[in-house]
Structure 1
């Protein structure tokens, strides 16, 4: 099994613009937001209204093909605050771009994820996702089917929502799965509800989260995993041992999440 780390190219990384204050992080904090300056964006692959997929100007990782998906022209926007229609369009566009790289067969694996907030390891506030082709690594080798199963929140046709009983990192991870990429509107709606729940209800609201997207069912389906970001447990940092809340707490959390979600979405 390949255990080699991805190699970060520091000489490129120190030129990156950033607007989160990480204290000693190297970079250009006064460069302004490059994603707001649409007129000067380069190497654009595709546009959909104000959603833009383009090559990452600062490819900091060796043996990768790094791309950026700008979600919106709203500098302070987020999945949790977009209109329902805007978020549905975003998720369909992003899934299309992801599949374009995935189906090209140019990479050993393709990763799609989103950083939000200061604890997510993001560098820019402007809402964006990243789709990255790995030339030599299987980015999914340490993620298994158990990581997508858990305490059911509810189902709607092809789409399922649950709280992970075997999280990748720890505690409360929300899985939203579409098994055949069919009802993408409901899938997108549940992702939006999940981010709203994480930001406003879970642990009285958290300021950071990540979204990770995984191809499932031989590429016919997709799981979106929402991971609220806290300071990581030393068990995970030092030993790669994830932790999870006890089953009674997760059942209670799943019921609470279902009550939050069904304010606008019908779940079985």
Structure 2
């Protein structure tokens, strides 16, 4: 049955550590003790891909990719070189699950901040194989299009005119796998822009979703986590800002990248 919801196993979630839970005055971070981690698939320096210890979703294989040994790390503050290596490693892990043939679909995403829906502050991504459900059934190619910020044929960046949720989403499209480094640089700049400029520095949380494109590329979509529009919550109707606002946002993002592309 299409549009079937994922089933959350509440009993599995009990006891799961939570960095943002106010009752946990000193929450422990399992990712800060890498020597105690188990069910590890692959490592690259401080990057560790492993099975999720708390598989809360039924009929799935949930995995976690620990990005760094820095508890306060993020795509916004990694060096250019580290960020590029991370995105290459994460893409390889995603491809490994995606091409295994074991799942109907494989999802790759990142939560950041207290309003992102994540539970642990330590920087990590998630790669989840869905046994029965097509996780992309409500996503179309239009969701990756918008007002152009940058286009070098191998990487195209835009402000979405057909957002998944709204109001403003940044699409960073990798069109040729040879351009992963440029793509990673734009993702890094996009995160910095979202957290520091887009909402005048008032946004502290985001989601980053990675979608396989029909042409073989990947779209990285940045969505700020602020209050979701009521039309989306109640009717699954996304909202988008007016054309002038989106044009202004595209111009600001273009200038932000150009100014900060003397990356350290």
User: TM-score when scaled to structure 2?
Assistant: 0.96
Equivalent of residue 94 in structure 1, options 81, 90, 93: 90
Match of 2:214 in 1: 217
Q: In structure 2, what is the Cα distance between the partners aligned to 1:193 and 1:216? A: 22
Structure 2 gaps of 5+ residues are: none
Match of 2:144 in 1: 148
Q: Helix, strand or coil for the counterpart of 1:91?
A: helix
Q: In structure 2, what is the Cα distance between the partners aligned to 1:58 and 1:187? A: 31
Match of 1:263 in 2: 259
1:155-174 matches, within 5 Å, as: 155-174=151-170
Match of 1:40 in 2: 36
Structure 1 gaps of 5+ residues are: none
Q: In structure 1, what is the Cα distance between the partners aligned to 2:214 and 2:237? A: 27
Alignment pair present for 1:120 and 2:116? yes
Q: In structure 1, what is the Cα distance between the partners aligned to 2:248 and 2:256? A: 12
Deviates more, 1:100-109 or 1:176-185: 176-185
Q: In structure 1, what is the Cα distance between the partners aligned to 2:214 and 2:22? A: 39
Is the CA contact (8 Å cut-off) linking 2:147 and 2:250 kept in structure 1? yes
Is the CA contact (8 Å cut-off) linking 2:141 and 2:213 kept in structure 1? no
Alignment pair present for 1:191 and 2:187? yes
Equivalent of residue 79 in structure 1, options 75, 81, 100: 75
Q: In structure 1, what is the Cα distance between the partners aligned to 2:112 and 2:79? A: 18
Structure 1 229/31 Cα, relative in aligned 2: closer, same or farther at 3 Å? closer
Pairwise CA distance, 1:217: 3.2
Pairwise CA distance, 1:156: 2.7
Pairwise CA distance, 1:139: 0.2
Any idea what the Cα deviations from partners look like across 1:49-82, whole Å, max 9, x if unmatched?
1000000000000000000000000000000000
Pairwise CA distance, 1:264: 4.1
Match of 1:10 in 2: 10
Q: In structure 2, what is the Cα distance between the partners aligned to 1:88 and 1:131? A: 18
Pairwise CA distance, 1:38: 0.4
Is the CA contact (8 Å cut-off) linking 1:179 and 1:217 kept in structure 2? no
Any idea what the Cα deviations from partners look like across 1:210-255, whole Å, max 9, x if unmatched?
000001135x211100001101111111111111000011001100
Runs of 4 or more above 2 Å deviation: 28-31
Match of 1:250 in 2: 246
Q: In structure 2, what is the Cα distance between the partners aligned to 1:54 and 1:30? A: 25
Any idea what the Cα deviations from partners look like across 1:108-157, whole Å, max 9, x if unmatched?
00000000011110100000000000000000000001100000001234
What is the root-mean-square deviation of aligned Cα atoms in Å? Answer: 1.5
